[in-house]
Amino acid sequence: MNTYDFSGRVAVVTGGAQGIGGAVASVLAANGAKVAVWDLDRSLAETFAASIGSAAAFEVDVANWASVEAAYNATIRAFDKVDILVNSAGIAGMNATVADYPVDEFAKICAINLNGTFHVNKVVVAGMRAQNYGRIVNVASVAGKEGNPNASAYSASKAGVIGLTKSLGKELADVNVAVNCITPAAARTRIFDQMSEEHIGYMLAKIPRGRFLEVDEVANMVAWLVSEENSFTTGAVFDLSGGRATY
């Protein structure tokens, strides 16, 4: 694995207590960053933050703007600044056709996956612009590019994350702030608990490499995206689809 020098950098990782977020937080901490682990599960976040060192846990509901503001203010009090944001918090939601999809369920998924991404991006922007430095990576999904049947809410919300990333990347292109997103194929994390076995099988069948993504593979790509070496690319989409994505 490549190594990076994140000493002196402060990173916020949402959904950071497990899965993709946990893998990213671990790599950043191992390479010298101070990490603010933002997660809805306070107990899990505290245990995980203690295990990786140079980290602190903050309970946050990304779908709630007041909660995001409170977590950001607490992070600034603890660490003084935010240099890096990796937004990994998200849910898959139920599997159903559009005709059968509950309206409240659709709204809930978009509130977390899309509105939550907006909230956490919005809260760090002013500070990053003022310090003329920042790296943001939003975790979207290959489903946001291609659309998965029986997962319309998830697919639509992740497509929105891609669009939001491109917009913000252009807005911050005049300063040294890079805003990019990744579109991973499925990784076997706790999010699988929300999916039917039929849907899991569908996703695996779509991946030419014939296996699910490993969270460490995501963390390695993200580490470069949030490093100082990524000084030009912004508003871009980076695939981790195992050959699935066709554009």
Which pairing describes strands 34-39 and 134-139: parallel, antiparallel, or unpaired? unpaired
Domain-embedded: residue 41: yes
Q: Which two tokens stand for residue 42?
A: 């306070």
**Which position among 4, 72, 101, 154 bears the catalytic label?**
154
Q: Which residue has the tokens 């911050």?
A: 172
Domain-embedded: residue 4: no
CB atoms within 10 A of CB 99: 6
Domain-embedded: residue 101: yes
Sequential pLDDT tens for the chain (247 residues): 789 999 999 999 999 999 999 999 999 999 999 999 999 999 999 999 999 999 999 999 999 999 999 999 999 999 999 999 999 999 999 999 999 999 999 999 999 999 999 999 999 999 999 999 999 999 999 999 999 999 999 999 999 999 999 999 999 999 999 999 999 987 766 666 666 787 778 778 888 888 888 999 999 999 999 999 999 999 999 998 888 887 7
User: What's this model's pTM, rounded to 2 decimal places?
Assistant: 0.94
Q: Which two tokens stand for residue 143?
A: 């489903």
Answer yes or no: 4 catalytic: no
Domain-embedded: residue 246: no
Q: Which domain holds residue 60?
A: 10-239
3-state secondary structure the chain: CCCCCCCCCEEEEECCCCHHHHHHHHHHHHCCCEEEEEECCHHHHHHHHHHHCCEEEEECCCCCHHHHHHHHHHHHHHHCCCCEEEECCCCCCCCECHHHCCHHHHHHHHHHHHHHHHHHHHHHHHHHHHHCCEEEEEECCCHHHHCCCCEHHHHHHHHHHHHHHHHHHHHCCCCCEEEEEEEECCECCHHHHHCCHHHHHHHHHCCCCCCCECHHHHHHHHHHHCCCCCCCCCCCEEEECCCCCCC
H helices within 11-151, ranges in order?
19-30, 42-52, 65-79, 103-110, 116-131, 143-146
Give me the pLDDT at residue 109, please.
Answer: 98
* CATH code, 152: 3.40.50.720
Q: Which two tokens stand for residue 153?
A: 């809410």
Q: Which residue has the tokens 């849907």?
A: 199
Q: H or E segment at 206?
A: none
- The structural domain count of the chain equals 1
Domain-embedded: residue 58: yes
